[in-house]
Structure formats: structure tokens, C-alpha cells
Amino acid sequence: MTTRIDCQERDARDPLAALRDQFDLPQGVIYLDGNSLGARPRAALARAQHVIAQEWGHDLIRSWNTAGWFDLPRRLGDRLAPLIGAAAGEVVITDTTSVNLFKALAAALRMQAGDPQRAARRVLVTERSNFPTDIYMAQGLSSWLERGYTVRLVDSVEELPQAISDDTAVVMLTHVNYRTGYQHDMAATSALAHARGALIVWDLAHSAGAVPVDLHAGGADLAVGCTYKYLNGGPGAPAFIWVPTRHQARFQQPLSGWWGHAAPFAMTPHFTATDGIGRALCGTQPVVSLAMVECGLDVFAQTTMDAIRAKSLALTDLFIALVEQRCAAHPLALVTPRAHALRGSQVSFSHPHGYAVMAALIARGVIGDYREPAIMRFGFTPLYTSYADVWDAVEILRDILDRQAYDVHAKRDAVT
Amino acid sequence: MTTRIDCQERDARDPLAALRDQFDLPQGVIYLDGNSLGARPRAALARAQHVIAQEWGHDLIRSWNTAGWFDLPRRLGDRLAPLIGAAAGEVVITDTTSVNLFKALAAALRMQAGDPQRAARRVLVTERSNFPTDIYMAQGLSSWLERGYTVRLVDSVEELPQAISDDTAVVMLTHVNYRTGYQHDMAATSALAHARGALIVWDLAHSAGAVPVDLHAGGADLAVGCTYKYLNGGPGAPAFIWVPTRHQARFQQPLSGWWGHAAPFAMTPHFTATDGIGRALCGTQPVVSLAMVECGLDVFAQTTMDAIRAKSLALTDLFIALVEQRCAAHPLALVTPRAHALRGSQVSFSHPHGYAVMAALIARGVIGDYREPAIMRFGFTPLYTSYADVWDAVEILRDILDRQAYDVHAKRDAVT
């Protein structure tokens, strides 16, 4: 049986252990919610102070040039690119995941509409279990395109092959499911979509910085994702959009603001999209929130996604094993796949009183979160989660369950 | 003739003079570009530090509830509302001006399409001299609505009455022109649009915090605007959108993300818009940049828009008079209207070597900016601009012009 000493020994051998010092983590907290809001890189505070005091306060308007504010979406996109198998000039960090998904879906539909062989396709396929805003954005876009698109919601991964047919314009999937932690086989699913004549848009919200992603090898057509989860960019930090070089000339999106213009400061009254990834931009970006994204990326630059993945699987394997050993008497059911290839960097367990148990965990300093129905989510972030953290979290969970030390009438908070 | 001592005496009597201390302004700079990027409220640094270190770093995911992050767009919108004649529950601070304009235009077109009397209208009217991204967003939206909308560009204010006709679905105007400083008569123009059966969307980018605005009395249907200019919210700070209570039930926009859902954490797979202004929201907002917007609003809460307007007109009158007196020998032409009712809070002069002269001014610490063609812009921000600043700026301009101390071959920077 594994002991806490075993866990401490694994921490002593962990090549990523030193990176934890680059994060500001509060005393008395085991933070297992980096899949929702990543912890704060220590450097983020100084970076923000510099942007606010020097670049904004002192240099004022000149910082658009001298501090490179205008180039931030592209420059930081280039730094993110290696984590997702993208090339330089294929990613910008900008706007929100929802807004970027709108751009990507609209562009994909237009690419299909421009192909005489595919112009009649009128269906977007996604999963009913996808993160809701992804479904909502697809519904919003569909309802505004008067040619009459519909969003087809698939109930299980097994049904995807039947659901993607010759009526399908675009498949839109989140690579790692926010609730279950299930990871799609990107290459196989992209190939399936392409074989049926569809384009595929991937949402990497729970993948970027969490699991190795190779968008090119995975056959993705377009992708979006989030920087404030595993990438530790800060609360609500701007999201990203990836447009591969091969699709850039055909990429047209309706949010055609001045930052996507070929000559934004020529102030001409007609929109002409710039070449390259810049055409995915729209309006002026929130510089302070955007600049801090770099501090998270700086930590990733000190390791590799393979090293992160190895530790992620070790942490999630350990958590599953310990919960199943030490909490075996309780009605916990593993929701996340056991197979490594199908697992992201989180573990979800259901429990009939999942919300109440999670509230009790949080009160004891073990911060995960809760998602309907009855699911407790635990995110494992190898940059700052230790094996001893896993042990301690399970012990606190066991204690709460053994003593029934949770309030079954706990009322759900507005947000978490 | 006015002297510098006269200006200093006016500063001594200025009821707003004390507010200047609430801004961090660099030594040796006369900042006349607050119409592009407002100066930094001193409080913004501490506010950002608190959000980053305490709310993000220490409280982590809990801050969505405990620090009210989720409510920031509405709470700060309510604080902005009085500056633009809006009611509580009618404004949210979110996304970018471009994105908010897309929402507003789409919603206005849908309102018209839902009215049998007006459903055949297919034209959006705006000015050729409008800020380009406004035109681009209208063009982008139009090109994606397959019923075939067109954007009609009007060449002068005088042509507006002819251009707004029974084919016009929506009129979209920027209240104060970014280049000339011309201010539209909101009430008269709104009444004209309504008389012709059109809805009117106002962009307040150069109005909010600059001139008194009363959206309700002005007959506006929808409005958007910017927080990083006169409102001093910080570089690229999130923008705002106003939907009056009377239109909220009919307000539908295509960027239907989870923040606009009636029950965002129920995670249902179908979009149902929330009641009220929340339906103008889309995705997760950049919390640090958003939170700092409040520091600018805190300064406005210490005075009134009437007091700000009185000083703004005094500053711009003084600048015009001094330039025309002291630089009379040079080919400067006033672009901004002399009539108070037609003027925003900036003064633009054209000069054949406008770019080079502005570059020389900036090198001497007088920071305005340049806009094609040949226009030097000077923004006057009564919260932190003094009468002596105006005198000194004009003296430096006079010196540069008298000595021809500018490089006619100066090459234009990428951005400013």
C-alpha cells in the first residue's frame, strides 16, 4: 500500500518539483482547481506593476509602440504555439474563448459554403456534454445565418461516427471534457470528420498546458482555447485562436474589427483583412490582463509537455488509486476514464452528496469544484501539485466521508 | 491678451484642480492624449495589486463569489450609468467596443426584422468619417446576414437627413467624431432616425466622461463606448454596452455565450437569454483589467459632468484662442467646431506637416497624436489638465513652428 512517505519520496525525485516555487500558493490550501483558474505565477504581480506604473502611467500612449502593446496578441501567441503543436504566426491571444469560437465556427461554415461540393451542408455536430458556452455560441451563430443551420447534439462519443454525415458542415468538439476529463482522440476524430467532408474545430480549454497537443498532426482545421486554466494566465485572461497557415487565406470571420485590418491606422472606410493570423483579431485588447499571460508561459518554457504529461498521469493515477483504496466504503464512482489515452489532467468522482462533500473539502482547504450532476472535480496541475498534496487531499476526503462531516443541505453558491 | 499668469490664476480658482493629484502623471509631460488613452488613476496600481495578490493568488477560484468577479460587468456598469444618462441595470462593462457594436447592430437589425412594417429595410447608415472599426463591424455583420444588408456611408452631417430614408433599418453614429471633435446633436438626430422608422445606435467612445450625455433624453435606442479614453480605465480596458430597459425584452444578439444565460451554472445544452442587461454579456471577462475601471469611475464620482463640461469648454476655448493668436503666422487650420454645442473635448488642427510637428511636440513632452490626413489631435481632460498646461503646450508648439524645428521626413510609427 502507498504511504505518505512514498509520496514524499516521489516528490523528492520529481523533476518538476522546483517549479512550484514559481507560484504563489496560499498556506493551508491544497489547490486542485487549476483546471478552472490556474494559480498565480509569482512573476505576474511584478509584471502587472510594470505595465501599470511604467508603461501606462509613465509612458502613456507611447507604449502602444514602445512596449509592444499592439503586438502582444501575436507575440504571446507565438510563445503559446509550441505547447499545442502550432507554428509561429498561427496563434493569437485575444478576446474570450466564446468570441473566438464564434469566429472559428463562422469561418469554417464560410469555407464550406465556398466549396460547391459542400455548400449544401447545414449541420454543426457537437456533444451534448460539451461545455455549454460552446453549444450556445454554435446555436447563436446558427440562428443568425438565415440559410438555416442546425446544431446536432450527440449523446455519447460512440454516436459520433453516425452523427457526422454528408449533411455535416462542421464538427466542434472540446478535446478534454470539462466535467468528465474524457480526452478525445484528436487525430482519429479529425480523420473521421474529414472522411465525411466536414471541417473540425477543436476547443482546447482543458488541453492547452494540460496534455500534449499537436494540432497539425491531429488534423485540426481550427482551434480555440483558454489561458486562465492550466496556462495560469490570470482570472479571465484573454483566450486564443489558432488558424493554421494552410487555411489562413480562406479564413474570414464576421467580427471584422480594426485590429484585423491590413492597414489599421490608414483609417480607410472599407474593411480589408490583413494576411495571416492577424485576421482573427477584432478590437483593442485588455493590456494588463493580456500581458500577465506571459508569466504563465514563462514557466512552461522551463519544461516540456511530455514531462508535464508524465507527472499528470502519475498524479491522477495516484489519486484514483488512493480514493478507491481509502474511501472504498463510500458511494464514490469514478467518472474519468482509467485509460491514459482517454484522460485529461483532472479526475471526477460522483457522489450522491457531491456538492456538500465538495463544500466540506473546500472548508478544510482542499479546493476542487463541483459540476452538475453530483460530480466533484479535482484538477491536477503538475507545475505546482505535489504527490504529498494528493495524499493529503485523499486523507481529508476520507475523514469527511467517514465522519459524514458534510452538510447535505448545503446551498450552492452562485458561481463555483 | 491672455498671459501665463492669467492661466495660473484660473488654475487657482478651478474647482476640479485638486483631482489632478489622483492621477499619476510623469514629470515633464503635458498630456493631451487622454482622448486616446486616459492617464492612470493612482489608485489603479493598488487595486490591481489587491486583485492579483489577494483575490487571485490567495483566494483563488473562490473569488468568483467572494470578490464579486462574476458581477463586475453589471456592478461597474451601474457606476458608469449616471455619466451617460442611463439607469441602473442598463449598462454592462464587457468585451471590446467593436464586439459590443456587433451585438448592438445585430440586435437592432433583428428588432427591425421582427416588425412587419420595417422588416424590408436593408440599409445601415453611418458616416464615412466614423471611426473605422465601427464601419468595419457594420460591414462584417452585413456581409454575414444573407438577406443582404448594405452599409451606406454618408459624406457629411448635412447629408444625413437625405440618407436616412424608408430603406434604413439602423443609423449608427459616433456621438463625438474621433478626428474632428465634432459633436452630433443626439436628440435631434435620434428624432430624425425615428421619424423615418429607423433605430439609432450611438457610439460614445469620445463622449463618455468627456461631455454630458443623456441617452434617454437623447432618444438613443442602443449605445456602446470605451472606458480607456476619458474614463481612465487602463489600456484596452473592457468597453460598455447600454440597452435601455424598454428594449431589453426584445434585445437578442448572436454572441450568446454562457455569461448571458439565464442559468449559467445549470450547464444546460440550450441557450436561454437571461432577463435584463445580462443578455448583452458573452464570455468570461479579463478581471484585472476590468477591476481597474472602477478607479477611474471613483474620480468621476467626486464631481459632475456639468463641472467637467464647463472646464472642458474653457480649456478648448483657451487652446483655440492661444493657437490662433500666437501661431497666427503658420498654416494651421482649425478642424474642430467653434460652436460649443458641436464640440467634444478635443481640438484638432491641420497642418501640412502635421505628423512631423506632432512628432516634434511629443519629443518636447507635449503628447497629442496624429490622424490622417494632416490632423494634429489635442485631447483636453478636465480631471487632470490645467490651464497652465494649455499655455505651455501652445508656447512649445509656437516655438517648434517659428523655428521650423520639425523633421518633414519623420516616418510614421506603427501605431500612434
Q: Where are the domains of chain B?
A: 4-31+304-403, 48-301
d(CA A303, CA A318) in angstroms, rounded, equals 22
Average pLDDT, chain A: 96
pTM over 0.95: yes
- Site of grid cell 497666427: B328
Asked if the model's pLDDT at residue B204 lies above 80, the reply is yes
The pLDDT tens digits of the residues spanning B332-352 come to 999 999 999 999 999 999 999
pLDDT score recorded for residue A148: 84
The rounded distance, in Å, linking the Cα atoms of A188 and B94 is 38
Contact A315, A17 (CB under 8 A): no
User: Cβ distance B356 to B413 under 8 Å?
Assistant: no
Angle between helices A354-363 and A387-402 (to 10 degrees): 120
pLDDT digits (tens, 9 = 90+) for B298-337: 999 999 999 999 999 999 999 999 999 999 999 999 999 9
Q: Give the closest of A130, A137, A283 to B98, CB-based.
A: A283
Q: Is the pLDDT of residue B415 over 60?
A: no
Question: Does residue B147 have a pLDDT over 80?
Answer: no
- When pLDDT is cut at 50, 70 and 90, the band that residue B411 belongs to is confident
Q: Report chain A residues whose CB lies below 8 A from the CB of B292.
A: 52, 288
Proportion of chain A in helix, strand, coil states, percent, rounded to 5:
45, 15, 40
Contact assessment for residue A143 and residue B272, using Cβ atoms and an 8 Å cutoff: no
Which among A125, A124, A131, A173 has a CA at the least distance from the CA of A149? A124
pLDDT band at A62 (very low <50, low <70, confident <90, very high): very high
- A30 has a pLDDT exceeding 70: yes
Reported confidence tier of residue B25, pLDDT bands at 50, 70, 90 = very high
pLDDT for position B104? 98
Chain A residues whose beta carbon lies within 8 Å of the beta carbon of residue B36:
61
| Averaged confidence pLDDT in chain B | 96
3-class SS at B392? helix
Task: Check if B4-31+304-403 and B48-301 are the same fold.
Answer: no
Which residue shows C-alpha cell 441557450? B271
Whether the pLDDT of residue B414 is over 70: the answer is: no
Section A36-65 average pLDDT: 97
Q: What is the pLDDT of residues A308-335, one digit of tens each?
A: 999 999 999 999 999 999 999 999 999 9
**Chain B (36-95) residues lying within 8 Å, Cβ to Cβ, of chain A:** 36-37, 39-40, 44-45, 48-49, 51-53, 55-65, 69-70, 95
Residue B401 pLDDT level (bands cut at 50, 70, 90): very high
Catalytic residue list of A:
131, 203, 228-229, 377
Q: What is the pLDDT of residue A413?
A: 62
Banded pLDDT at A58 (limits 50, 70, 90): very high
Segment A232-249 shows an average pLDDT of 98
CA gap A47, A289 in Å, rounded:
10
Min Cα separation A172/chain B (Å): 14
Which whole-number Å values give the CA distances from A211 to A192, A306, B222, in the listed order? Answer: 22, 8, 44
CATH number belonging to domain B4-31+304-403: 3.90.1150.10
**φ, ψ for residue A14 (rounded to 5)?**
-70, 120
Residue B149 confidence (pLDDT) above 70: yes
Q: How many residues does chain A have?
A: 416
Q: Is the pLDDT of residue A144 over 70?
A: yes
Residue type, A264: P
Contact between chains at A254 and B143 (C-beta distance less than 8 A)? yes
Q: Which of residues 154-173 of B touch A (CB under 8 A)?
A: none
Residue A155's pLDDT is 97
Closest CA to A344 of A303, A373, A377: A377
Tell me which of B163 and A265 has the higher pLDDT: B163
Closest B-chain CA to A147? B146
What's the pLDDT score for residue B387?
A: 98
Nearest-CA neighbor of A80 among A202, A215, A261, A250? Answer: A215
Res. A414: pLDDT tops 60: no
The confidence score (pLDDT) of residue B146 equals 73
Edge-to-edge strands, sheet with B199-203: B91-93, B240-242, B222-225, B199-203, B168-174, B123-127, B150-154
Q: What is the mean pLDDT of residues B157-162?
A: 96
pLDDT in tens, A378-413: 999 999 999 999 999 999 999 999 999 999 988 776
Q: Which residues pair with B17 in a beta bridge?
A: none
Domain A48-301 has CATH 3.40.640.10: yes
Task: State the smallest CA–CA distance between residue B1 and chain A in angstroms.
Answer: 33
CB contact under 8 A, B254 and A140: yes
CB atoms within 10 A of CB A169: 24
Q: Distance (Å) from the C-alpha of residue B370 to the closest C-alpha of chain A?
A: 10
Give rounded-to-5 percent helix, strand, coil for chain B.
45, 15, 40
Contacts of A49 in chain B (CB under 8 A): 45, 48-49
Percent of chain B residues past pLDDT 70, beyond the cut: 99
Q: Check if the interface score ipTM surpasses 0.90.
A: yes
